Structure 1
Amino acid sequence: MYPNERLIAVLALTILMLNTAQAAVSADQAALLKSSLTPMGAERAGNVDGTIPTWDGGLTQLPAGYAGPGTHHVDPFPEDKPQFTITKANLQQYEAHLTPGQIALFNSFPDTFKMPVYQSRRTGSAPQRVYDNTFKNATSGVLVAEGNGFASAFGGIPFPIPQNGLEVLWNHIARYRGTYAEHRSSQAAVERNGAYSLVTSEDRILSSYYDPNGSLDQHGNTLFYYMTFAIAPARLAGEGALIKETLDQVKEPRMAWSYSPGHRRVRRAPVLAYDNPLAETKGLRTADNTDMFNGAPDFYDWTLLGKKEIYIPYNNYMVTSPKVTYAELLTPGHVNPKYTRYELHRVWVVEGKLKSGDRHIYKRRTLFLDEDSWGIAVADHYNGSGQIWRVSMAYLKNFYEQPMVFTALDTFHDVRARRYGVQGLDNEEPRTVDFSKIIPSVEEFTPSALRRKAPR
Structure 2
Amino acid sequence: MNVRTPGFKYPKLLLSSALVLALSTLSTAGMANAERLGQDLTPVGAERAGNTDGTIPAWDGGLSSSSDRYSNPFADEQPLFVITAANAADYSAQLSPGQLAMFQRYPDSFTMPVYPTHRTAAMPQKIYDAASHNAANTSLTDDGNGLINFQEALAFPIPETGLEVIWNHLTRFRGGSLERTFVQVPVQANGSFTPVKINEKMAFPGYLKSTGEDRTDNILFYFVQEVTAPSRLTGNILLVHETLNQITQPRQAWTYNAGQRRVRLAPNIAYDAPGTATDGQRTTDNLDLFNGAPDRYNWELVGKKEMYIPYNSFKLADRSLKYNDILHTGHLNPEHTRYELHRVWHVEATLKEGQRHIYGKRSFYIDEDTWQAAVVDHYDGRGELWRVGEAHHFQYRDVDVPWYTAETLYDLQSGRYLVGSLTNEEGNGFDFTQRFDYADFTPQAIRRMGR
Would you say same fold, with TM above 0.5? yes
Farther-moved stretch of structure 1 (102-111 vs 77-86): 77-86
Whole-angstrom CA distance in 1 between matches of 2:283 and 2:30: 38
Whole-angstrom CA distance in 1 between matches of 2:204 and 2:226: 18
1:445 aligns with 2:441: yes
**1:199-238 residue pairs with structure 2 within 5 A?**
199-208=196-205, 219-238=216-235
> Number of paired residues?
426
Whole-angstrom CA distance in 1 between matches of 2:327 and 2:362: 26
> Given residue 249 of structure 1, which amino acid in structure 2 is its aligned partner?
Q
TM-superposition CA deviations, 1:7-66 (whole Å, max 9, x none)? xxxxxxxxxxxxxxx956432221110210000000000000000000000013217xx2
Whole-angstrom CA distance in 2 between matches of 1:225 and 1:26: 30
1:283 aligns with 2:287: no
Whole-angstrom CA distance in 1 between matches of 2:423 and 2:401: 19
Residue ranges of structure 2 left out of the alignment (5+ in a row):
1-24
Out of 330, 335, 340, the residue aligned to residue 343 of structure 1 is 340
Output the TM-score relative to the length of structure 1: 0.90
> Given residue 343 of structure 2, which amino acid in structure 1 is its aligned partner?
R
> Given residue 37 of structure 1, which amino acid in structure 2 is its aligned partner?
L
Identity of matched residues, %: 45
| Cα offset, 1:76, TM superposition | 2.1
SS at match of 2:137: coil
| Cα offset, 1:397, TM superposition | 1.1
| Cα offset, 1:278, TM superposition | 2.1
Whole-angstrom CA distance in 1 between matches of 2:289 and 2:267: 22
Question: Do the aligned partners of 1:274 and 1:360 also contact (CA within 8 Å) in 2?
Answer: yes
SS at match of 1:61: coil
What's the Cα RMSD here? Answer: 2.0
Question: Do the aligned partners of 2:209 and 2:436 also contact (CA within 8 Å) in 1?
Answer: no
Whole-angstrom CA distance in 2 between matches of 1:307 and 1:212: 40
SS at match of 2:90: helix
Change (3 A) 1:98 1:202: same
Whole-angstrom CA distance in 2 between matches of 1:443 and 1:202: 18
SS at match of 1:343: strand
Match of 1:32 in 2: 36
Farther-moved stretch of structure 1 (267-276 vs 440-449): 267-276
Out of 151, 155, 165, the residue aligned to residue 162 of structure 2 is 165
| Cα offset, 1:269, TM superposition | 2.2
Question: Do the aligned partners of 2:251 and 2:267 also contact (CA within 8 Å) in 1?
Answer: no
SS at match of 1:26: helix
Whole-angstrom CA distance in 2 between matches of 1:396 and 1:277: 25
Out of 52, 59, 75, the residue aligned to residue 55 of structure 1 is 59
Out of 83, 87, 92, the residue aligned to residue 86 of structure 1 is 83
Farther-moved stretch of structure 1 (260-269 vs 289-298): 260-269
SS at match of 1:259: strand
Match of 1:98 in 2: 95
Whole-angstrom CA distance in 2 between matches of 1:307 and 1:450: 43
Change (3 A) 1:222 1:152: same
Whole-angstrom CA distance in 2 between matches of 1:375 and 1:49: 24
| Cα offset, 1:267, TM superposition | 1.7
> Given residue 170 of structure 1, which amino acid in structure 2 is its aligned partner?
W
Change (3 A) 1:57 1:218: farther
| Cα offset, 1:270, TM superposition | 4.4
| Cα offset, 1:279, TM superposition | 5.2
> Given residue 249 of structure 2, which amino acid in structure 1 is its aligned partner?
E
Whole-angstrom CA distance in 2 between matches of 1:102 and 1:272: 29
Question: Do the aligned partners of 2:297 and 2:351 also contact (CA within 8 Å) in 1?
Answer: yes
> Given residue 378 of structure 1, which amino acid in structure 2 is its aligned partner?
V
> Given residue 59 of structure 2, which amino acid in structure 1 is its aligned partner?
W
Whole-angstrom CA distance in 2 between matches of 1:251 and 1:208: 19
Question: Do the aligned partners of 1:30 and 1:139 also contact (CA within 8 Å) in 2?
Answer: yes
Match of 1:311 in 2: 308
> Given residue 89 of structure 1, which amino acid in structure 2 is its aligned partner?
A
| Cα offset, 1:214, TM superposition | 9.7
Whole-angstrom CA distance in 2 between matches of 1:55 and 1:311: 17
| Cα offset, 1:444, TM superposition | 1.3
Residue ranges of structure 1 left out of the alignment (5+ in a row):
1-21, 67-71
SS at match of 1:266: strand
Whole-angstrom CA distance in 1 between matches of 2:212 and 2:127: 13
Question: Do the aligned partners of 1:354 and 1:363 also contact (CA within 8 Å) in 2?
Answer: yes
Match of 2:264 in 1: 267
> Given residue 157 of structure 1, which amino acid in structure 2 is its aligned partner?
L
TM-superposition CA deviations, 1:341-397 (whole Å, max 9, x none)? 000000001111111111111111110000001000000111222221111011001
TM-superposition CA deviations, 1:152-188 (whole Å, max 9, x none)? 0112311111011111110000000011111111111
Out of 419, 425, 428, the residue aligned to residue 428 of structure 1 is 425
Whole-angstrom CA distance in 2 between matches of 1:251 and 1:417: 38
Whole-angstrom CA distance in 2 between matches of 1:264 and 1:362: 34
SS at match of 1:89: coil
Whole-angstrom CA distance in 1 between matches of 2:128 and 2:106: 41
SS at match of 1:235: helix
1:387 aligns with 2:384: yes
Output the TM-score relative to the length of structure 2: 0.91
| Cα offset, 1:237, TM superposition | 2.0
> Given residue 441 of structure 2, which amino acid in structure 1 is its aligned partner?
F
Match of 1:243 in 2: 240
Whole-angstrom CA distance in 1 between matches of 2:400 and 2:255: 33
TM-superposition CA deviations, 1:79-133 (whole Å, max 9, x none)? 1211111000111111110001100111100000000101100001100000011
SS at match of 2:34: helix
Whole-angstrom CA distance in 2 between matches of 1:375 and 1:42: 12
> Given residue 60 of structure 1, which amino acid in structure 2 is its aligned partner?
S
Question: Do the aligned partners of 1:155 and 1:210 also contact (CA within 8 Å) in 2?
Answer: no
Question: Do the aligned partners of 2:208 and 2:437 also contact (CA within 8 Å) in 1?
Answer: no
